[in-house]
């Protein structure tokens, strides 16, 4: 019997609380969704906004400190300013005041790098009846610098380096050759080139 009574009491309490929650939820939902929004005429909205803006501007002007107004005069720069040549009597250099607080550190002297010239290569010039040959040596390597034929002669360069130089000056029935090899300096040879060490 007590168990039935307790169960019945629990059911009644549950039904009552469920009813209260349902009623409250339905009222809130009705207030949110079913109630139409109030319609305010446009004139009233505009007048309300103007009055609020006037009140806000009056309060900000009364609380804000007056800011000093600075007037800037526009500076006009002429496009072509007149050129004035100062007279010697009126031009005086302005004295520069020496300030005790600022010290200028002396710059270290600039040392120009010393340029070393490359040693000149040994050269040699050989003059013949057919023309002039000029060569230069770089160790055991040789280079033909120029081959200038004489009047009536033509030049044929057989070898211009780097092992040897062989130049022929040719004319009808004549062939003058200049053959040079390097052993630290130019050496002219005839026939086969000398053997190098």
Sign of the dihedral through C-alpha 139, 145, 150, 154: positive
The reported pLDDT for the residue numbered 1 is 72
123-127: strand order across its sheet: 123-127, 131-138, 141-149
Question: What's the per-residue H, E or C state across the chain?
Answer: CHHHHHHHHHHHHHHHHHHHHHHHHHHHHHHHHHCCCCCCCHHHHHHHHHHHHHHHHHHHHHHCCCCCCCCCCCCCCCCCCCCCCCCCCCCCCCCCCCCCCCCCCCCCCCCCCCCCCCCCCCEEEEECCCEEEEEEEECCEEEEEEEEECCCCEEEEEEECCCEEEEEEEECCEEEEEEEEECCCEEEECCCCCCCC
Which carries the bigger pLDDT value, residue 194 or residue 121? 121
Q: How confident is the model at residue 197 (pLDDT cuts 50, 70, 90)?
A: low
pLDDT, position 184: 86
pTM: 0.40
Check whether 77 has a pLDDT greater than 70: no
Could you tell me the residue ranges of all domains in the chain? 123-189
Mean pLDDT of 49-76: 62
Distance CA 84, CA 65 (A): 49
- Express as a percent the part of the chain with pLDDT over 70: 59
Beta partners for 157?
167
Least reliable range by pLDDT among 22-36, 141-155, 166-180: 22-36
For residues 136 and 158, give the distance between their C-alpha atoms in angstroms, rounded to a whole number: 17
Q: Give the residue from 123, 130, 197, 129 showing the smallest Cα distance to 165.
A: 123
Among 73-82, 95-104, 183-192, name the most confident range. 183-192
Mark 107-131 as b/e (b = at least 16 C-beta within 10 Å): eeeeeeeeeeeeeebeebebeeebb
């Amino acid at each position: 019997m007590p168990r039935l009574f307790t169960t019945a009491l629990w059911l009644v309490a549950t039904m009552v609380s469920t009813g209260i929650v349902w009623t409250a939820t339905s009222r809130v939902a009705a207030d949110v969704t079913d109630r139409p929004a109030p319609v305010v005429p446009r004139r009233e909205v505009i007048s309300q906004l103007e009055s609020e803006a006037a009140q806000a501007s009056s309060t900000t002007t009364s609380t804000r400190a007056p800011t000093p107004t600075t007037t800037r005069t526009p500076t006009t720069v002429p496009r072509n300013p007149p050129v004035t040549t100062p007279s010697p009597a009126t031009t005086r250099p302005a004295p520069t005041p020496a300030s005790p607080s600022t010290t200028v550190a002396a710059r270290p002297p600039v040392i120009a790098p010393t340029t070393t010239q490359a040693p000149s290569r040994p050269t040699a010039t050989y003059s013949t009846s057919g023309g002039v040959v000029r060569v230069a040596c770089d160790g055991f390597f040789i280079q033909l610098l120029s081959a200038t034929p004489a009047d009536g002669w033509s030049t044929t360069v057989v070898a211009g380096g780097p092992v040897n130089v062989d130049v022929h000056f040719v004319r009808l029935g004549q062939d003058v050759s200049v053959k040079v090899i390097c052993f630290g300096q130019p050496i002219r040879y005839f026939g086969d080139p000398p053997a190098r060490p």
